[in-house]
């Protein structure tokens, strides 16, 4: 079946449909990961987006019930050069096409993803429409694309109620994990290090956390524009000065920086994939990291009396981490918990544990 991708500037890409049928409107972005498409699909940070995978073949090892990063896939559409119809892997439980169809996600293949990626790199991310209509109305699709905006992202992906995840073996610490779009591997990493984890809805008041007997707070990843989450930012101001150890990842990093008085900006085409070099300024070492974000913190806007930039992106110099002065608080833009990888920066979880040891109750 024919499928068509129509960008808001009127550019049209014709391909073939796989997955669900219908129409999807979203923000078109690209991910450079060579593996991990199931983790991409189930990452809540992709809420509201049409994801283009730059690696030419997807679905070659199928899907399974173990690799999901959340309860469901979140992109509104999936764009690939080729979707493998006959996957081969001992863990395979089904095909990528069937998985998308089951979850109502529209896919389009036989698209020149290199040309699309180059366009997004040169022009910046833009909205688009994927449709399986035989003769789509291009002008109408362009209008719908231009009208689209990602709104209330965190509210749409956060958990509805508190969830408990016990430590593997003896529990050493009790961690409150704010769910702004939490990926399961954050919880897994903490559990493996001996932490009982309470996953909390994004709107949980800071005072409830402070009264909960927690040894530390984890701020998760998540989708959307960080500056829109004004109520959450106000609560994080309380946590910033509470003396409780805090470790933030991705959106959690951005929200804490905004709480400290910094500002964010939208990147031209974002950082999405598992091959982004980041330098730890304190150690002088560069690591390969997994990233998924369309916004970044403006380093010059961070009040110097409050915090300092700890990590930078070696490709474009953007802020990748912040350490807060005289506070047991640090955050990073990238994903040290990355699944399937890389795992170069897992040492940051050990630093978080060291902070909790210093303030253990």
Q: Which residues are annotated as a binding site for L-glutamine?
A: 45, 222, 224, 251, 254, 292, 294-295
67: its two tokens: 């690799």
Rounded Cα–Cα distance for residues 108 and 78 (Å): 6
* Secondary structure class of 97 (helix, strand, coil): helix
Rounded Cα–Cα distance for residues 273 and 290 (Å): 6
Residues 6+ apart with CB under 8 A from 332: 248, 249, 250, 253, 310, 311, 320, 321, 345, 348
Q: In the block, which residue shows the tokens 């009264």?
A: 211
* Secondary structure class of 63 (helix, strand, coil): strand
Rounded Cα–Cα distance for residues 281 and 283 (Å): 6
Beta-bridge partners for 178 = 200, 219
């Amino acid at each position: 079946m024919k499928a068509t991708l129509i960008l808001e500037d009127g550019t049209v890409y014709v391909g073939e449909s796989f997955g669900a049928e219908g129409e999807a409107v979203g923000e078109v972005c690209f991910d450079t990961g060579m593996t991990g498409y199931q983790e991409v699909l189930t990452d809540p940070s992709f809420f509201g987006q049409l994801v283009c995978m730059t690696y030419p073949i997807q679905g070659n090892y199928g899907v399974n019930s173990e690799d999901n990063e959340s309860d469901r896939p979140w992109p509104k559409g999936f764009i690939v050069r080729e979707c493998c119809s006959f996957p081969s892997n001992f863990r395979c439980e089904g095909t990528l096409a069937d998985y998308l169809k089951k979850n109502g996600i529209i896919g389009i293949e036989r698209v020149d993803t290199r040309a699309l990626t180059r366009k997004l790199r040169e022009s910046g991310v833009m909205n688009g429409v994927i449709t399986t209509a035989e003769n789509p109305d291009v002008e109408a699709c362009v209008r719908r694309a231009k009208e689209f905006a990602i709104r209330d992202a965190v509210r749409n992906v956060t958990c509805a109620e508190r969830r408990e995840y016990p430590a593997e073996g003896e529990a050493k610490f009790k961690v409150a994990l704010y769910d702004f779009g939490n990926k399961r591997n954050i919880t897994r990493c903490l559990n493996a290090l001996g932490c009982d984890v309470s996953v909390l809805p994004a709107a949980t008041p800071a005072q409830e956390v402070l009264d909960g007997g927690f040894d530390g707070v984890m701020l998760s990843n998540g989708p959307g524009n960080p500056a829109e989450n004004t109520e959450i930012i106000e609560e994080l101001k309380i946590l910033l000065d509470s003396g409780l150890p805090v470790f933030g990842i991705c959106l959690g990093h951005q929200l804490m920086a905004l709480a400290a008085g910094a500002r964010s900006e939208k990147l031209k085409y974002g950082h999405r994939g598992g091959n982004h070099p980041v330098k730890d300024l304190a150690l002088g070492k560069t690591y390969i990291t997994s990233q998924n974000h369309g916004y970044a913190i403006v380093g010059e806007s961070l009040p110097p009396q409050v915090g300092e930039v700890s990590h930078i992106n070696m490709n474009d110099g953007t802020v990748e981490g912040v350490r807060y002065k005289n506070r047991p608080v640090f955050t990073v833009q990238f994903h040290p918990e990355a699944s399937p990888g890389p795992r170069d920066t897992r040492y940051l979880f050990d630093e978080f544990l060291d902070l909790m040891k210093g303030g253990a109750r």
